Amino acid sequence: MSNSRNLSKLTKADKPLFVSLMSRAFAQDPLFLHLFGDSKLDRKAKHRVKAFVSFMFDKSFLLHEEVWGYFENESLIGTYIVEKPHASMLQNLKGILLIARLIPLLFQLSGKTLSLLNSYLRVTRSSAPSFTHHYLIMIGVSQEEQGKGIGKSLLQHLINTVKADKKSQGIALDTENKENVDLYRRFGFTLSQEAQMDNMPVYCMFYPKEG
């Protein structure tokens, strides 16, 4: 029996699949380790990671973001969240609803973690281009499917989306994993800035759309 694979936009019903995949995919990510601790060794850290990933998924449906996923049969094996560039008044109004989603998260994260998150946002947002662009918030692939071209397919899908968007001038992203820098460079991203957050390097990259 052949496997059926497809790339499609996620719905709210896909939240459990997203949270499960991204919680495992980011378990050893430098930023997540710094913010939440080792979720493979610490049960509380595992709970914090899931709470944060869950919040990120909910946020995408309230703000100007999209979640796309790569499915094999009915299993989610890769996914990404991207912030689109076309802000609107509706986005600002939805920010009020976001507060309701944020409150439960505040009770699950420590004050130190919240402070670090705020510092991270300041660093990354200050490094973002001033012109109109997409922002790749998160991208992850199931550990069992890594090295099979899933991440490449997801990233190429995003690049094609941006190329078709007449208003967007490219894609910004941030990574704390130095090994990812060369990977993104192979797709046409350039390192625009190397910043520091609490002695942790943050590599800010940008894909400039040609034409």
Q: Which residue has the higher pLDDT, 87 or 137?
A: 137
Task: Choose between 88 and 157: higher pLDDT.
Answer: 157
Distances (CA, A) of 89 to 64, 75, 93, 133, 181: 11, 36, 6, 18, 35
For residue 118, what pLDDT is reported? 83
Distances in whole angstroms, Cα of residue 123 to Cα of each of 4, 49, 67, 176, 197: 41, 21, 24, 12, 7
133 burial level (CB within 10 Å; 0-12, 13-18, 19+): buried
pLDDT tier at 89, thresholds 50, 70, 90: very low
Name every residue whose Cβ is closer than 8 Å to that of residue 63 and which is 6 or more positions away in sequence: 83, 91, 94, 95, 98
> Does the pLDDT at position 199 exceed 70?
yes
> What residues does 136 pair with on adjacent strands?
82, 173
pLDDT of residue 36: 92
| Percent with pLDDT over 90 in the chain | 58
Is the confidence at residue 87, as pLDDT, over 60?
Answer: no
- Residue 103, pLDDT score: 67
Report the pLDDT value the prediction gives residue 112, as an integer from 0 to 100: 85
Q: How remote is the C-alpha of 196 from its chain's centroid?
A: 19
With 0.85 as the threshold, say if the pTM is over it.
yes
8 A C-beta contact, residue 79 and residue 36: no
- Residue given tokens 């490094």 in the structure block: 127
pLDDT tens, 41-57? 899 999 999 999 999 99
pLDDT at residue 90 above 50?
no
174 pLDDT band (50/70/90 cuts)? Answer: very high
Residue with tokens 């001033």: 130
- Indicate if the pLDDT at residue 88 is higher than 60: no
The closest alpha carbon to 167, from 92, 90, 84, belongs to 84
Mean pLDDT in the chain? 87
- In this prediction, residue 1 carries a pLDDT of 44
